[in-house]
Amino acid sequence: MGTPAIEIRDLHKYFGDLEVLRGIDFEVDTGEVVCIIGPSGSGKSTLLRCVNRLEEATSGHVLIEGEDITDPASDVDALRAKIGMVFQQFNLFPHLDVRKNLTISQRKVLGRSQDEAAEVAARMLERVGLTDKIDEYPARLSGGQQQRVAIARALCMNPDMMMFDEVTSALDPELVGEVLQVMRDLADEGMTMLVVTHEMGFARNVADRVVFMDEGIIMEDGPPGEILANPKEERTREFLRMVLEEGF
Protein backbone atom coordinates (compact mmCIF):
# COMPACT_ATOMS: atom_id res chain seq x y z
CA MET A 1 0.00 0.00 0.00
CA GLY A 2 1.11 3.54 -0.67
CA THR A 3 0.38 6.52 1.50
CA PRO A 4 -2.82 5.98 3.52
CA ALA A 5 -5.77 8.26 2.70
CA ILE A 6 -6.09 9.21 6.36
CA GLU A 7 -3.46 8.69 8.99
CA ILE A 8 -4.13 9.67 12.60
CA ARG A 9 -1.25 9.81 15.06
CA ASP A 10 -1.64 10.10 18.81
CA LEU A 11 -4.62 12.44 18.58
CA HIS A 12 -5.83 14.11 21.77
CA LYS A 13 -8.75 16.48 22.12
CA TYR A 14 -9.88 18.33 25.23
CA PHE A 15 -13.10 20.29 25.66
CA GLY A 16 -12.12 22.36 28.67
CA ASP A 17 -11.00 19.81 31.26
CA LEU A 18 -12.75 16.92 29.57
CA GLU A 19 -10.50 14.70 27.48
CA VAL A 20 -12.75 13.52 24.66
CA LEU A 21 -10.07 11.85 22.57
CA ARG A 22 -7.33 10.14 24.56
CA GLY A 23 -4.69 9.15 22.04
CA ILE A 24 -6.08 7.88 18.76
CA ASP A 25 -3.86 6.06 16.26
CA PHE A 26 -5.24 4.61 13.10
CA GLU A 27 -5.23 4.65 9.34
CA VAL A 28 -7.68 4.42 6.51
CA ASP A 29 -6.22 3.13 3.26
CA THR A 30 -7.30 4.30 -0.14
CA GLY A 31 -10.46 2.48 -1.20
CA GLU A 32 -11.15 1.21 2.28
CA VAL A 33 -14.52 1.53 4.03
CA VAL A 34 -14.12 1.92 7.79
CA CYS A 35 -17.08 2.09 10.14
CA ILE A 36 -16.67 3.58 13.60
CA ILE A 37 -19.14 2.32 16.17
CA GLY A 38 -19.48 2.97 19.87
CA PRO A 39 -21.73 4.44 22.53
CA SER A 40 -22.69 8.12 22.38
CA GLY A 41 -20.10 10.33 24.00
CA SER A 42 -17.30 7.97 23.03
CA GLY A 43 -15.71 10.61 20.80
CA LYS A 44 -16.61 9.18 17.36
CA SER A 45 -18.02 12.41 15.95
CA THR A 46 -15.25 14.50 17.49
CA LEU A 47 -12.71 12.23 15.83
CA LEU A 48 -14.36 12.77 12.45
CA ARG A 49 -14.50 16.52 12.99
CA CYS A 50 -10.81 16.57 13.91
CA VAL A 51 -9.94 14.81 10.65
CA ASN A 52 -11.09 17.79 8.56
CA ARG A 53 -10.26 20.27 11.32
CA LEU A 54 -13.79 21.44 12.05
CA GLU A 55 -12.44 20.88 15.55
CA GLU A 56 -8.84 21.72 16.39
CA ALA A 57 -7.04 18.76 17.90
CA THR A 58 -5.33 19.58 21.18
CA SER A 59 -2.30 17.51 20.20
CA GLY A 60 -1.34 14.88 17.67
CA HIS A 61 -1.48 14.80 13.88
CA VAL A 62 -3.89 14.00 11.09
CA LEU A 63 -2.35 13.32 7.70
CA ILE A 64 -4.53 13.53 4.60
CA GLU A 65 -2.75 11.66 1.81
CA GLY A 66 0.48 12.35 3.64
CA GLU A 67 -0.17 16.07 4.22
CA ASP A 68 -0.52 17.21 7.82
CA ILE A 69 -3.86 19.08 8.11
CA THR A 70 -3.12 19.89 11.76
CA ASP A 71 -0.07 21.88 10.66
CA PRO A 72 -1.05 25.56 10.90
CA ALA A 73 0.85 26.22 7.68
CA SER A 74 -1.18 23.69 5.68
CA ASP A 75 -3.82 24.82 3.19
CA VAL A 76 -6.85 23.67 5.18
CA ASP A 77 -9.38 24.73 2.55
CA ALA A 78 -7.63 22.75 -0.20
CA LEU A 79 -7.35 19.67 2.03
CA ARG A 80 -10.97 19.92 3.12
CA ALA A 81 -12.10 20.01 -0.50
CA LYS A 82 -10.58 16.52 -0.86
CA ILE A 83 -12.69 15.19 2.01
CA GLY A 84 -16.43 15.07 1.41
CA MET A 85 -18.36 15.36 4.65
CA VAL A 86 -22.00 14.51 5.29
CA PHE A 87 -23.67 15.56 8.53
CA GLN A 88 -26.42 14.17 10.71
CA GLN A 89 -28.49 17.34 10.20
CA PHE A 90 -27.93 17.44 6.38
CA ASN A 91 -26.95 21.13 6.54
CA LEU A 92 -28.13 21.91 3.04
CA PHE A 93 -28.14 25.64 2.32
CA PRO A 94 -31.83 26.53 2.73
CA HIS A 95 -31.63 29.81 0.81
CA LEU A 96 -30.39 28.07 -2.34
CA ASP A 97 -32.15 25.56 -4.58
CA VAL A 98 -30.67 22.12 -5.12
CA ARG A 99 -28.80 23.20 -8.25
CA LYS A 100 -27.08 26.08 -6.42
CA ASN A 101 -26.42 23.91 -3.37
CA LEU A 102 -24.48 21.63 -5.69
CA THR A 103 -22.72 24.28 -7.76
CA ILE A 104 -21.77 27.07 -5.35
CA SER A 105 -18.67 25.46 -3.86
CA GLN A 106 -17.57 24.13 -7.26
CA ARG A 107 -17.62 27.71 -8.48
CA LYS A 108 -16.12 29.40 -5.44
CA VAL A 109 -13.55 26.75 -4.48
CA LEU A 110 -12.66 24.89 -7.66
CA GLY A 111 -13.26 27.87 -9.95
CA ARG A 112 -15.38 25.84 -12.36
CA SER A 113 -17.54 27.65 -14.89
CA GLN A 114 -21.30 27.77 -14.41
CA ASP A 115 -21.84 25.28 -17.23
CA GLU A 116 -19.22 22.86 -16.02
CA ALA A 117 -20.49 23.01 -12.43
CA ALA A 118 -24.09 22.49 -13.54
CA GLU A 119 -23.05 19.52 -15.64
CA VAL A 120 -21.22 17.90 -12.68
CA ALA A 121 -24.19 18.68 -10.41
CA ALA A 122 -26.61 16.96 -12.79
CA ARG A 123 -24.37 13.90 -12.94
CA MET A 124 -24.04 13.62 -9.15
CA LEU A 125 -27.74 14.19 -8.64
CA GLU A 126 -28.41 11.33 -11.01
CA ARG A 127 -26.08 9.14 -8.94
CA VAL A 128 -28.25 9.67 -5.88
CA GLY A 129 -31.43 9.30 -7.96
CA LEU A 130 -32.83 12.81 -7.56
CA THR A 131 -32.49 14.29 -11.05
CA ASP A 132 -36.04 15.65 -10.95
CA LYS A 133 -35.41 17.68 -7.79
CA ILE A 134 -32.81 20.03 -9.24
CA ASP A 135 -35.04 23.12 -9.05
CA GLU A 136 -36.50 22.43 -5.59
CA TYR A 137 -35.54 24.17 -2.38
CA PRO A 138 -34.31 21.92 0.45
CA ALA A 139 -37.36 22.63 2.62
CA ARG A 140 -39.54 20.89 0.02
CA LEU A 141 -37.57 17.63 0.20
CA SER A 142 -37.97 14.73 2.62
CA GLY A 143 -35.18 14.06 5.11
CA GLY A 144 -33.92 11.13 3.05
CA GLN A 145 -33.90 13.24 -0.11
CA GLN A 146 -32.10 16.08 1.66
CA GLN A 147 -29.43 13.69 2.87
CA ARG A 148 -28.97 12.27 -0.62
CA VAL A 149 -28.61 15.81 -1.97
CA ALA A 150 -26.02 16.46 0.75
CA ILE A 151 -24.08 13.41 -0.43
CA ALA A 152 -24.31 14.60 -4.04
CA ARG A 153 -23.13 18.06 -2.96
CA ALA A 154 -20.03 16.54 -1.37
CA LEU A 155 -19.41 14.36 -4.44
CA CYS A 156 -19.51 17.42 -6.71
CA MET A 157 -16.13 18.41 -5.31
CA ASN A 158 -14.65 15.14 -6.62
CA PRO A 159 -13.38 14.25 -3.16
CA ASP A 160 -10.76 11.55 -2.70
CA MET A 161 -12.60 10.31 0.38
CA MET A 162 -15.94 10.72 2.17
CA MET A 163 -16.81 11.01 5.84
CA PHE A 164 -20.29 10.31 7.18
CA ASP A 165 -21.28 11.51 10.65
CA GLU A 166 -24.32 9.51 11.79
CA VAL A 167 -26.06 10.48 8.58
CA THR A 168 -29.15 8.34 9.16
CA SER A 169 -29.72 9.19 12.83
CA ALA A 170 -32.02 12.15 12.14
CA LEU A 171 -34.13 10.28 9.58
CA ASP A 172 -37.52 8.65 9.92
CA PRO A 173 -36.97 4.86 9.90
CA GLU A 174 -38.57 4.36 6.48
CA LEU A 175 -36.13 6.85 4.90
CA VAL A 176 -32.94 5.25 6.22
CA GLY A 177 -32.76 2.61 3.49
CA GLU A 178 -32.51 4.99 0.53
CA VAL A 179 -29.55 6.82 2.10
CA LEU A 180 -27.74 3.60 3.03
CA GLN A 181 -28.25 2.35 -0.53
CA VAL A 182 -26.49 5.43 -1.93
CA MET A 183 -23.62 4.87 0.52
CA ARG A 184 -23.42 1.20 -0.45
CA ASP A 185 -23.19 2.16 -4.13
CA LEU A 186 -20.38 4.56 -3.31
CA ALA A 187 -18.51 1.86 -1.44
CA ASP A 188 -18.95 -0.53 -4.37
CA GLU A 189 -17.44 2.07 -6.67
CA GLY A 190 -14.31 2.06 -4.53
CA MET A 191 -14.74 5.32 -2.61
CA THR A 192 -12.61 5.66 0.51
CA MET A 193 -15.11 6.04 3.36
CA LEU A 194 -14.96 6.77 7.07
CA VAL A 195 -18.40 6.21 8.54
CA VAL A 196 -19.64 6.89 12.06
CA THR A 197 -22.83 4.89 12.33
CA HIS A 198 -25.30 3.03 14.50
CA GLU A 199 -26.41 0.92 11.54
CA MET A 200 -24.87 -2.44 12.44
CA GLY A 201 -26.26 -4.06 9.29
CA PHE A 202 -24.43 -1.51 7.15
CA ALA A 203 -21.21 -2.02 9.11
CA ARG A 204 -21.47 -5.79 8.77
CA ASN A 205 -22.22 -5.85 5.04
CA VAL A 206 -20.30 -2.91 3.66
CA ALA A 207 -17.32 -2.13 5.91
CA ASP A 208 -13.86 -3.54 5.29
CA ARG A 209 -13.00 -2.74 8.90
CA VAL A 210 -14.97 -1.89 11.98
CA VAL A 211 -13.54 0.26 14.76
CA PHE A 212 -15.10 0.21 18.21
CA MET A 213 -14.53 3.38 20.22
CA ASP A 214 -15.27 3.95 23.88
CA GLU A 215 -14.34 6.76 26.25
CA GLY A 216 -12.05 8.46 23.76
CA ILE A 217 -9.92 5.50 22.73
CA ILE A 218 -10.08 2.78 20.09
CA MET A 219 -10.91 -0.42 21.94
CA GLU A 220 -10.99 -2.76 18.97
CA ASP A 221 -10.22 -2.57 15.28
CA GLY A 222 -10.68 -5.40 12.80
CA PRO A 223 -12.79 -7.02 10.08
CA PRO A 224 -16.55 -6.70 10.69
CA GLY A 225 -17.00 -10.45 11.06
CA GLU A 226 -14.55 -10.44 13.94
CA ILE A 227 -15.58 -7.25 15.76
CA LEU A 228 -19.34 -7.74 15.41
CA ALA A 229 -19.49 -11.50 15.87
CA ASN A 230 -16.56 -12.33 18.14
CA PRO A 231 -15.41 -9.20 19.96
CA LYS A 232 -12.43 -9.72 22.24
CA GLU A 233 -13.24 -6.90 24.63
CA GLU A 234 -15.97 -7.15 27.23
CA ARG A 235 -16.99 -3.49 26.55
CA THR A 236 -17.55 -4.26 22.88
CA ARG A 237 -19.72 -7.24 23.72
CA GLU A 238 -21.73 -5.18 26.17
CA PHE A 239 -22.25 -2.42 23.61
CA LEU A 240 -23.33 -4.82 20.87
CA ARG A 241 -25.72 -6.60 23.21
CA MET A 242 -27.29 -3.24 24.09
CA VAL A 243 -27.56 -2.10 20.48
CA LEU A 244 -29.07 -5.36 19.29
CA GLU A 245 -31.56 -5.51 22.15
CA GLU A 246 -32.72 -2.00 21.45
CA GLY A 247 -33.26 -3.14 17.90
CA PHE A 248 -31.20 -0.53 16.14
Binding residues for other proteins (CB under 8 A):
52, 54, 77-78, 80-81, 83-85, 87, 89, 91-95, 104-105, 108-110, 150, 153-154, 157
Residues 6+ apart with CB under 8 A from 147: 86, 90, 167, 168, 171, 175, 179
Min dist. Cβ of residue 54 to other proteins (A) = 5
Q: How far apart are the C-alpha atoms of 228 and 64, rounded to whole Å?
A: 28
Q: How many CA atoms lie within 13 A of 148 on its CB side?
A: 26
Q: In the complex with other proteins, which residue's Cβ is closer, 138 or 231?
A: 138
Min dist. Cβ of residue 56 to other proteins (A) = 12
Contact 208, 32 (CB under 8 A): yes
Q: In the complex with other proteins, which residue's Cβ is closer, 111 or 173?
A: 111
Q: How far apart are the C-alpha atoms of 5 and 7, rounded to whole Å?
A: 7
Min dist. Cβ of residue 77 to other proteins (A) = 5
Q: What element of type H or E holds 203? A: helix 200-206
Q: In the complex with other proteins, which residue's Cβ is closer, 95 or 234?
A: 95
Min dist. Cβ of residue 109 to other proteins (A) = 4
Min dist. Cβ of residue 123 to other proteins (A) = 17
Q: How far apart are the C-alpha atoms of 87 and 191, rounded to whole Å?
A: 18
Q: In the complex with other proteins, which residue's Cβ is closer, 110 or 240?
A: 110
What torsion, rounded to 10 degrees, do the Cα atoms 95, 148, 142, 174 define? -160
Q: In the complex with other proteins, which residue's Cβ is closer, 30 or 88?
A: 88
Residues 6+ apart with CB under 8 A from 112: 103, 106, 120
